[in-house]
Chain A
Amino acid sequence: MSARRGVRIALHYAVLVLIALVCAFPFSGRCRSRSAPKATYFRSLRRSFRARASLANFIEVFRVIDLGRYFWNSVWITFWTVVWTILVCSLAAYPLARYRFRGRQLVFTVILATLMLPTEVNFLVNFITTTHLRLVNTHLGVILPTVAGAIGIFLMKNAFEEIPQDLLDAARVDGASELYIFLRIMLPLALPQIGALTILTTVTTWNNFLWPSVVLTKSELMPLAVGILELSGTFGSSTRVIAAGAILTIAPALIVFFFTQRFFMRGMEGAIK
């Protein structure tokens, strides 16, 4: 009995390892390529194994190109996007969850309708609008269109719906203003979902490529995802540079995700209700 179970577990692991290798393979290939001193990427596998990894090359890339600038831009954009998104989405979700007012159903339907649209259909007109608002080539122009997401609103709505109505009624009777209720009761009680929204927005914004590349043309304002693609045009054959930039792009998102897996899942489970 225990032998059979052992075999099952071993098989389990074997399949997982196999698939994990396939998924992680592009990543590992890049790790090797970025540190290889002289070998170009398009050599045979055996040779790339023989090339020695070297940290000096990694640092040299930073001196040659301003990857640090791209990284800082990514951090800045992501931070403000997350802050604005949480604010706007939770503010919008509160009346949708716990208020009865005329037009509520209409607002619901309208927000739901935005989920059907692929983001690409809006690029052109959004670019025109951003031009008129003089937000082209600014970080605000990158952030603003992505803030009010129906996903965030629905996540927060589910979070708020879990909080019993009696709690709010008691608070109102005790004289709490709506703002007080929102800030001191609803938001703290919805922290898991806020955490999930934070992580989701962080990862999405960090990897967001299309809209920033449309809005930004100045190289010093670009986030990582856009910057390294631009690099691959300028430094077409320097795979070291690209690989370093790629690692810098993927690593933070992956690390954040790895460590916050648990909160992510918990927040999403709460959202199911």
Chain B
Amino acid sequence: MSARTVDADAAIERSDQLGDRASRARLRQALLPWLFLAPALLLLGLFTFWPVLWGSYLAFTEYNFLTPPKWVGLANFEDLLEDPVFFISLKNSLLYLLIVPAIQLGAIVLAVLVNNSLPGIKAFRAAFYIPVVTSVSVVGIMWGWMYNEQGLINAVLQTLHVINDPIGWLSDDRLALFSLMLVTLLAGPGLVHGAVSRGAAGDTEGSRGGCPARRRHALAAILEDNDPHDHADDSALHGPVDALGDEGAGGGADHDQRRSRKLDVYRPLLRVRSGHPRVQLSARAGREPRRERFLSGDRMAQLPLHTPASPLNRWRRTRHRIRA
């Protein structure tokens, strides 16, 4: 008992001496998240936010890269309204917006067809993903050739005697847009398959996901795939980010059963349920982490610094809210 008291006095003295260091440490603790975030925020700020701001300013100026920008007010916007191409492209964008998602409903059907374990199904999946992983430029060249008046599509159709004269897929005003949409459409199955397979994975957990979950994921995949520009950039991850919402149910039946050997010392902390060596997500999974920064209740008692009696430590205890 006396040894403990001596310990306590020494500890109090030490903790008073460490006062300065403690507050410096606390400052570092407060800054640490920002240190981690620094590179990403720097790059995002420089290459994503600054362009938005500066670009908005440039929209009201006349700028030729050599001389400083000259303020002209709304003149650029007036020019835009007088430009016929602007309205045409606006109309095309709206058409894309309406028609492509409707067509992609068919892509959902296709994705469900592929989401099974028939032999050789992986080859089909790879084939469907070909349009997703091909670069825009290559796709452009390829389809340009195929749509050419002397190109492949016309050749096939003529050989099969479906048509007699070649069709101008890209030169005919009315056809051109739909030809382009077809190219976009072909990337659909790949993306939607990604979404549906993820939704179905949540299903295998026996959670209440099921069809609504699948629909939600597929809906998100369709909604985000409206950008007609660069499909190689469309990542199926927009889907999960939007579709997360209230979908808190755990999924991924075969999600990570391997843990590093080194961490086996922490294994008692992983609560195991029903024999599956996987992490039992607490009710807080996916929500805000707990309020306290460092310490769970019972671990606190093991620390030498916090002794019962001193007023300094009483004050210190008010700085945390410890949950037992």
Contact for B233 among A29, A172, A208, CB less than 8 A:
A208
Which residues of the partner chain B approach A210 to less than 8 Å between Cβ atoms?
136, 230
Which residues of the partner chain B approach A162 to less than 8 Å between Cβ atoms?
279, 281, 285
Q: How far is the CA of A40 from the CA of B65 in the complex (A)?
A: 44
Q: How far is the CA of A72 from the CA of B31 in the complex (A)?
A: 41
Q: Say how far A83's CB is from chain B's closest CB, in angstroms.
A: 13
Which residues of the partner chain B approach A266 to less than 8 Å between Cβ atoms?
252, 254-255
Known contacts A188-B260, A261-B125; is-contact A91 B230 (Cβ 8 Å)? no
Which residues of the partner chain B approach A184 to less than 8 Å between Cβ atoms?
262
Known contacts A121-B51, A225-B138; is-contact A165 B290 (Cβ 8 Å)? yes
A144 close to B269 (CB less than 8 A): no
Among the stretches B95-103, B293-301, B312-320, the one at the interface with A is B293-301
Which residues of the partner chain B approach A5 to less than 8 Å between Cβ atoms?
none
Which residues of the partner chain A approach B122 to less than 8 Å between Cβ atoms?
258, 261
Q: How far is the CA of A258 from the CA of B122 in the complex (A)?
A: 8
Please give me the residue from chain A that is nearest to B134 by CB atom.
A250
Q: Say how far B310's CB is from chain A's closest CB, in angstroms.
A: 22
Known contacts A45-B155, A92-B39, A148-B43; is-contact A124 B55 (Cβ 8 Å)? yes
B133 close to A203 (CB less than 8 A): yes
Q: How far is the CA of A102 from the CA of B241 in the complex (A)?
A: 23
Q: Say how far A215's CB is from chain B's closest CB, in angstroms.
A: 12
B294 close to A192 (CB less than 8 A): no
Known contacts A22-B186, A44-B159, A273-B251; is-contact A207 B47 (Cβ 8 Å)? no
Which residues of the partner chain B approach A185 to less than 8 Å between Cβ atoms?
263
Q: Contact flags (1/0) for B158-172 with A, using CB distance below 8 Å?
A: 110000000000000
Contact for A27 among B39, B130, B141, B260, CB less than 8 A:
B130
Among the stretches A7-15, A52-60, A61-69, the one at the interface with B is A7-15
**B143 interface residue, CB < 8 Å from A?**
yes
Known contacts A20-B124, A88-B43, A207-B133; is-contact A166 B296 (Cβ 8 Å)? yes
- A-facing residues in B116-149 (Cβ within 8 Å): 118, 122-131, 133-143, 145-146, 148
Which residues of the partner chain B approach A92 to less than 8 Å between Cβ atoms?
36-37, 39-41
**A229 interface residue, CB < 8 Å from B?**
yes
Please give me the residue from chain A that is nearest to B256 by CB atom.
A192
Q: Contact flags (1/0) for B191-221 with A, using CB distance below 8 Å?
A: 0001001100110000000000000010000
Which residues of the partner chain B approach A117 to less than 8 Å between Cβ atoms?
48, 52
Known contacts A122-B55, A254-B133, A268-B198; is-contact A95 B127 (Cβ 8 Å)? no
Q: Say how far B125's CB is from chain A's closest CB, in angstroms.
A: 7
Q: Say how far A24's CB is from chain B's closest CB, in angstroms.
A: 5
B142 close to A26 (CB less than 8 A): yes
**B84 interface residue, CB < 8 Å from A?**
no
Please give me the residue from chain B that is nearest to A225 by CB atom.
B135
- A-facing residues in B271-303 (Cβ within 8 Å): 279, 281-282, 284-286, 288-291, 293-296, 299, 302-303
